[in-house]
Amino acid sequence: MQGNLFYGSGAALVTPFRAQRVDYDCLEALIDWQIDSGTDALIVLGTTGEPSTITPSERSAIIECAVARCAGRVPLYVGTGCNSTRTAIAQSIEAQRLGADGLLVVTPYYNKASHAGLIEHYNAIADSVQLPIIVYNVPGRTGLNLPPEVMLELARHPLLCGFKEAATNPSQIMRLFELLGDGIAIYSGNDDLVLPMMALGARGVISVAANVAPEQVHALTSLWLKGETGACRRMQYQLLPLIRALFSEVSPIPVKAALSMMDRIEDVLRLPLVPLDAERRAVLRQELVRLQLIDGNDGTIPG
């Protein structure tokens, strides 16, 4: 199944709200903009999509909307992870029924499953569907780290064929590539580590920054894939100040602020998340202006 996974830039989309309701027109516009900008894959209902505050009926509607709008132009992955295996299975089956091309399944959070529990959890999900699954390790959000040795065991299942690594321990990342090599598709889960991860063998990134700079993040990955390593390195450095601003507060707070400055969405989150404070907002605006994503007079740049 590894051949079914993408190379390049996967955008982990926000869920746009208007008056606390999901703004489906805005979601369709975001999807079109991403695809027109060269994004290689789209992910809905990942961490950036605020899935913990999405109702079951909204979840179904978001998937249906995204599937219809993507219309096969790029692969669409749906976040279906949960700290309840039963719920993760139900959400995965639903995503498959509604037309998803693949799944992104974060490690169980709060429960802090053992290694044996992680293996049973993921195998149970994979056994319930016929879609490729990207396993997502983000210990900074979940409080649980999935070590490379466990991923090696999970990769025995033909559908557990991708891994999004958002840990920042260099030794762990090196061990991941040492053990799995070309055995699975590995993606950077950190926008500031795309270059080093691809140098080790990653296929690309599942990105937050691609929400606001889709052309640039696509270029970053495609430059490496084309062997233009120097240009890739320069692009990574060019994006780093924006990336830092986009992670100056818990995601997706800053990325939604940025998209609202670009007149792409309204700056609406669901509690317990609240909008970005004025000091961080000023820094973020400065970076958007520097990259010519908005102009210096608070107006967006057309295109």
How do beta strands 76-79 and 185-188 pair?
unpaired
Active-site annotation holder among 164, 187, 226, 256 = 164
Q: Are the beta carbons of 63 and 95 closer than 8 angstroms?
A: yes
Distance CA 271, CA 79 (A): 20
256 is catalytic: no
Is 226 catalytic? The answer is no
Task: Centre a 10 Å sphere on the Cβ of residue 163 and count the other Cβ atoms it contains.
Answer: 24
Q: In this structure, what token pair is assigned to residue 285?
A: 């605006």
Contact between 167 and 139 (Cβ < 8 Å) = yes
Query: C-alpha 193: how far from its chain's center?
Result: 14
Cα–Cα distance measured from residue 146 to residue 113, given in angstroms and rounded to the nearest whole number: 10
Interior CA angle at 35 toward 103 and 256, to 5°? 75
Phi, psi of 106 (to 5 degrees): -70, 155
Catalytic choice (77, 122, 136, 187): 136
Tell me if 295 sits within 8 A of 289, measured CB to CB.
yes
- Helices assigned H by DSSP within the chain: 24-36, 56-70, 85-97, 115-127, 139-142, 148-154, 170-180, 194-200, 214-225, 229-246, 253-261, 278-290
- 97: Cβ–Cβ under 8 A, 6 or more apart, which residues? none
Enumerate the active-site residues.
136, 164
